[in-house]
Amino acid sequence: MTLEAVRALLPGARSIAVLTGAGISAESGVPTFRGPGGLWRDFRPEDLATAEAFANDPRLVWEWYDWRRQKIAAAKPNLGHYALVTLEKRAPELTLITQNVDGLHPLAGSRNLLEIHGNLWRTRCLSCRKVRDSREAPLARIPPRCPCEGLLRPDVVWFGEPLPYDLLKRAIRCVEACDLMLVVGTSGLVQPAASMADAALDRGVPVVEINLDPTPLSGRASYVLQGKAGEILPKLL
Ligand code: BV8
Ligand code: ZN
């Protein structure tokens, strides 16, 4: 049974790298990007999550983020998030790399966390560049403005924008140092996150995919556990 084989790998793992995507928050009621219900007013994420879309229509882009912030404000971490917190406590070393911007991993208690696509609970001012925490949902004013009168944007990485260099460097370094990698709830379509598993596979390190559906990684992963992250991860503990 694959689940037993993967469970047997955990006690001996010295350094675990975990990569998560929107699928780990699905059971918390947070819509995924490419699954059913993930769309908003028939827009594709690639159409709205760009600097061009924001420059053209900051109000539309902020209406989408305000909708997501309200959904996420009502969401709680699920058993998948908490299982990764437990695993981080047990393993000698575990780095959690997430593409998610929903803030549910830090809320669940994950510490060694790299939010490589940013966090939608932070804003950045286009004028004075100040980054702030902002928990207001719904936003009182759309688009929100800085006290300096500058336009605020969500502090997330949009398509066509580079990932924060230090976070990306740390993520690649931990994948290159790990002796086990878990890839949970990601469709494996967005780069550079989607290529991280290759850095582990190329070194012969076991890569375990946990996903509802097959993805481009499934054919190369060492183990594929098909199902819900909130059900599978606790069973691995
Ligand atoms: C960069 C933040 C270079 C915003 C996100 C052509 C033109 C332009 C660019 C490109 C191009 N081709 C490639 C690129 C690069 C581009 C890219 O990859 N595009 C894709 C669409 C082809 N990448 C970029 O632009 C990146 N930057 O390359 O910069 C550069 C370098 C130097 C200088 C200038 C530029 C930036 C990418 C980051 C984009 N930002 N988000 C926001 O979220 O608002 S990406 C967005 O997608 C989210 O972060 C999300 O996490 C991410 C990936 O999606 P997933 O997490 O995988 O979610 P998805 O819905 O797709 O899948 C869910 C999965 O879960 C499914 O498999 C499902 O089966 C599974 N699931 C569902 N329920 C469960 C489950 N699994 C388990 N349990 C469940 N219960
Ligand atoms: Zn400002």
This model's pTM is above 0.85: yes
Nearest CA to ligand 1 atom 43: 101
- CB-based burial, 158-174: b 16+ in 10 Å, e otherwise: beeeebbeebbebbbeb
57 and 104 belong to one structural domain:
no
127 and 113 belong to one structural domain:
no
Last residue of a domain, one of 132, 156, 180: 156
Looking up tokens 């190369």, which residue turns up? 220
pLDDT of residue 37: 63
Q: Which atom of ligand 1 is nearest to the CA of 194?
A: 18
**Per-residue pLDDT reduced to its tens digit, 110-149:** 999 999 999 999 999 999 999 999 999 999 999 999 999 9
Residue 150 alpha carbon to ligand 2 centre in Å: 5
146 and 98 belong to one structural domain:
no
* Confidence band of 36 (pLDDT split at 50, 70, 90): low
What CATH number corresponds to the domain at position 14?
A: 3.40.50.1220
C-alpha distances in Å from residue 29, one per residue of 2, 61, 177, 185, 230: 28, 21, 34, 14, 12
Q: Which atom of ligand 1 is nearest to the CA of 22?
A: 56
111 and 133 belong to one structural domain:
no
Residue 152 alpha carbon to ligand 2 centre in Å: 7
Per the structure, the count of domains in the chain is 2
